[in-house]
Structure 1
Amino acid sequence: MKKFPDNFLWGAAASAPQTEGHGSTDGKSPTTWDKWFEMAPEKFFNQIGPEDTSDVYDLYQEDVNRMKEIGMNSYRTSISWARLLPDGETLNPEAVDFYRSYFQCLLDNGIEPIMNLFHFDMPWWLMKKGGWETRESVSAFGFYAKTVFEEFGDLVHRWSTFNEPLVHIEAAYLQEFHYPAIHDIKKAVQVGYHTLLAHFEAVKAFRESGKIGEIGIILNVTPAYARSNSDEDLQAKEYADLIAIKSFIDPCVLGEIPSKLIDLTKAAGLTPQTQEGDKALIKEYPVDFLGLNYYQPMRVQAPSNPNYPITSLEDLFEPYIWPERRMNPYRGWEIYPKALYDMAMLIKNEYRNIPWYVSENGMGVEGEEKFIKDGMVQDDYRIEFMEEHLAELHRGITEGSNCFGYHTWTFVDCWSWLNAYKNRYGFYRVDLENNFARSLKKSGLWFKELTENNGF
């Protein structure tokens, strides 16, 4: 039996835009996802947009009862900025009532709410002004955070500012998976800088609120693994770690943007616009904890034909296919549980052993209906995935890493951006053809036993 520490957080994660539904009702204004689906529905899998998602807005009470049934003692989701402040300034009373009732329901059932402020859902009113490209986004986010703490700080005592900020930076400005789906590395750097400052404005607002609790940030921190020990491949790994790990975790935990990152952007003519007082803000407001999302490793090699000055991340490192890799054939991602142990040691050895938890880990599978037997999805593949990762996490905790919880992605199947419901992750299956009816998967029964034993 691998036992975990007392009071360990067992739960799941989700987000407002991926679960709530009521995307255009109850006072909510549009986000980039609502507008992008309106403009280009063909980009979305099966042309399923964000209007209804999993209808948690109506079904949260039943869902909380289901959480309790499988032993969850914590749950992380997000608040919709566009629902709470539809124009960025005016409080939506319907949103306040919904969230207060939702959070109180969680508390009444012994489930700690961990609330995140931003999960890729930029309000359209701000996107029209440039979104994270504009400095106005920093102060706007600070005001939103202040409002959230005022309205819900008596119910929620553990907060995070952003989920995977690197994703909305890369996916929107270096790839084509988030709006505005352009490739502009200079804009990407500026967006990253404003996102970082918005995080610190939110932490500052929390400290000044006087509310009891803690605040952190949720990052997809994945150690890079080099193809070889050659100087060139190791340099690629250093660059990958600089971008994927140090760019956010260093300022959030250590209070400084890495000097190598500053030098890199300067040499490439990519230095973002800054203001006096930015460095002091970053220095003064470190986080209390980290959430780390992990699904797959990052394997890198030296770039084959780099540009200098750089024009993309591929000028710093390229992906590498490890010959011995094991794959999730449905999602196209490598399965490598040991990285979770490596992450635990990274936090212990390089980041003051700050308290942290696994804020997402899970296995997405397409076409799960083919695994239904006797009315239940027999997702043994998901159970095996979690067991292997938990074994590595347990090893890290045993060796002194200060991890306080493990959350899966996700509790009920949720809508996932351009992929919609293509890949399913939940402990509960959502039937889109039957009023979003929930049905427990085999992994939910396994999770119940896991939480009862505080181990496996």
Structure 2
Amino acid sequence: MSVLTRRHLLRRAALSASAVPAGRLSTSTAAAAVAGATLAGCDADPEADDARRTAPDARLGLRFPDGFGWGAATSAYQIEGAAKDDGRGESVWDTFSHTPGRVRGGDTGDVAADHYHRYVEDLDLMKDLGLATYRFSISWPRIQADGTGAPNQRGLDFYRRLVDGLHDRGIAPMATLFHWDLPQSLQDIGGWESRDVAYRFADYAEAIFEALGPSVPVWLTINEPKTVVQNGYLQGHHAPGLREPDAAYLVAHHLQLAHGLAVRALRATGSASRIGPALNLHPCYPADDAPGAAEATQLYDGYENRLYLDSIFKGAYPADVLADLGPESRMVRGIRDGDLAIISSPVDLLAVQYYTPIYVTGDGGTVRKWPTSEASWQQIFPDGMYDILTRVTRDYGDVPLTVTENGLPTPDRLAGDGTVDDIGRIAFLRDHMAAAHRAISDGVPLESYHVWSLMDNFEWNEGYEQRWGLIYIDFPTQRRIPKRSAHWYRRVIADNSV
């Protein structure tokens, strides 16, 4: 890897993580910004537009296909807590969050939303919302404390109780095998830089498949490998907290390999359950007509999207990305014969996670075009949902799609009357759902949609500063309080329309 490429990778990761510095929006401003965004293909009547601007929770009259799956999503480290209970081992996020200066406010996931002890209450909240599907993740160190060996029965029992509880309430489980909480013992031997860890992941996946079997109809393999690469190995503000460009894309390859090995492990069981990856996809657009902007955008898209999509669906990494990394990069040298055949093992669906667009300049930088949420990296652009869904179908065929994360943080406050008025979240979700509806109308095989997130949680390096949930968590008391958005979403689900 050349010095120039190394610098570009660091810069690209920084820009992808935070775009251009921008102020945060208040709840009312966010609502107005989202409500004012134009969604091509929606009702163009001026009076309807005025209603949307003045009432962000106004109905659009968009009915979804019968059987469409409305859901919500979480991840283990962000909500479970119980960090040392029942044989759970330490993860890289335990280490990272307990390292001074790594997480805002010194927060950790030791308790989080205490879901491990309060899952029955949370299941009842899901039922009250009317969820058809719940996407959660399994904590690898809860199953294998050091990432190897016989599974921890107490950990398996917890997920068995959770899955059974979902079925009892008519909610379909969607389980993610890896949502960033790598056992620390595996990090100590190299983490995802070690090819062996991909095979340890396959062993772990096999143990989970054998334990939970057909009771989980949909499995997701690796959550957002790109985030591990960019935030964990380029920028260093996620676990394991490294800034090592030479390692970053070798990590990307091993994460892709782990995905393929897990797919093959499920197939070997003869299971009828479905399986696929969960990828955060950022539509990339030229910032303007400046010379070089289109070419720079194409390469940027290669790192953001095609590196992961092409290897899974086409059995090859993008040639422009490999050329940019260079033949001596650790990733290129780490690809072995047969790896791409494993990575491209046929999947049953693709989980798409959409949060923000990226606008690329001629020099490979980025600019902000739209208002941001409290997460300064997130530009609010609902049309990006339509664009990324239709692009995936156009470029990779009619693979069934599910949206497994879409949401934003808002400055939620518990009012004196015990309510939380998060109208900005309602406006955001409504307009993104409308974009998804338009994609379905244009032939995208979208089966389900999951709000991120079911509840407020530990938001990684932001600690408990940002609230992303439909359900407000009063962390000192662990009291659960459905926000205005939860009541609105209940009606969306009941009517199957926005």
Say whether residues 1:409 and 2:452 are aligned partners.
yes
Partner residue, 2:109: 50
Paired residues for 1:55-204 under 5 Å: 55-87=114-146, 88-204=148-264
**Tell me, what secondary structure is at the counterpart of 1:275?**
coil
Alignment root-mean-square deviation, CA: 1.5
**Tell me, what secondary structure is at the counterpart of 2:282?**
coil
Structure 1 residues 248, 330: closer, same or farther in 2, change over 3 A? closer
Out of 352, 360, 365, the residue aligned to residue 410 of structure 2 is 365
Name the CA distance, whole Å, in 1 between partners of 2:240 and 2:471: 32
Q: Deviations over 1:213-238 (max 9, x none)?
A: 11011111111011123441001110
Partner residue, 1:424: 467
Partner residue, 1:307: none
**Tell me, what secondary structure is at the counterpart of 1:328?**
coil
Answer whether contact 1:216 1:288 (CA < 8 A) is retained: yes
Out of 313, 317, 323, the residue aligned to residue 263 of structure 1 is 323
Partner residue, 2:34: none
Structure 1 residues 398, 421: closer, same or farther in 2, change over 3 A? same
Structure 1 residues 258, 334: closer, same or farther in 2, change over 3 A? same
Q: Deviations over 1:11-39 (max 9, x none)?
A: 1111111111111121000001112233x
Say whether residues 1:438 and 2:480 are aligned partners.
yes
Out of 327, 341, 344, the residue aligned to residue 280 of structure 1 is 341
> Quick check: 100-109 or 291-300, which moved more?
291-300
Give 1:172 shift: 1.4
**Tell me, what secondary structure is at the counterpart of 2:231?**
helix
What letter is aligned with 2:472?
A: R
Name the CA distance, whole Å, in 2 between partners of 1:330 and 1:32: 23
Give unpaired runs (5+ residues) of structure 2. Answer: 1-60
Answer whether contact 1:41 1:49 (CA < 8 A) is retained: no
Answer whether contact 2:104 2:465 (CA < 8 A) is retained: yes
Give 1:380 shift: 0.7
Moved over 3 A (4+): 267-270, 329-332
Name the CA distance, whole Å, in 2 between partners of 1:326 and 1:426: 20
| Aligned residue pairs, count | 436
Structure 1 residues 279, 42: closer, same or farther in 2, change over 3 A? closer
TM-score norm. by structure 2 comes to 0.85
Out of 373, 377, 392, the residue aligned to residue 328 of structure 1 is 373
Answer whether contact 1:162 1:217 (CA < 8 A) is retained: yes
Give 1:333 shift: 2.3
What letter is aligned with 1:363?
A: L
Q: Which structure exhibits the higher relative contact order, with contacts defined as CA atoms closer than 8 Å and separated by 6 or more residues? A: 2
What letter is aligned with 1:281?
A: I
What letter is aligned with 1:360?
A: E
Partner residue, 1:455: 497
Name the CA distance, whole Å, in 1 between partners of 2:416 and 2:388: 37
Answer whether contact 2:299 2:320 (CA < 8 A) is retained: no
Answer whether contact 1:153 1:212 (CA < 8 A) is retained: no
Partner residue, 2:443: 400
Name the CA distance, whole Å, in 2 between partners of 1:160 and 1:83: 18
Name the CA distance, whole Å, in 2 between partners of 1:248 and 1:177: 22
Name the CA distance, whole Å, in 2 between partners of 1:240 and 1:372: 43
**Tell me, what secondary structure is at the counterpart of 1:280?**
helix
Partner residue, 2:271: 211
TM-score norm. by structure 1 comes to 0.93
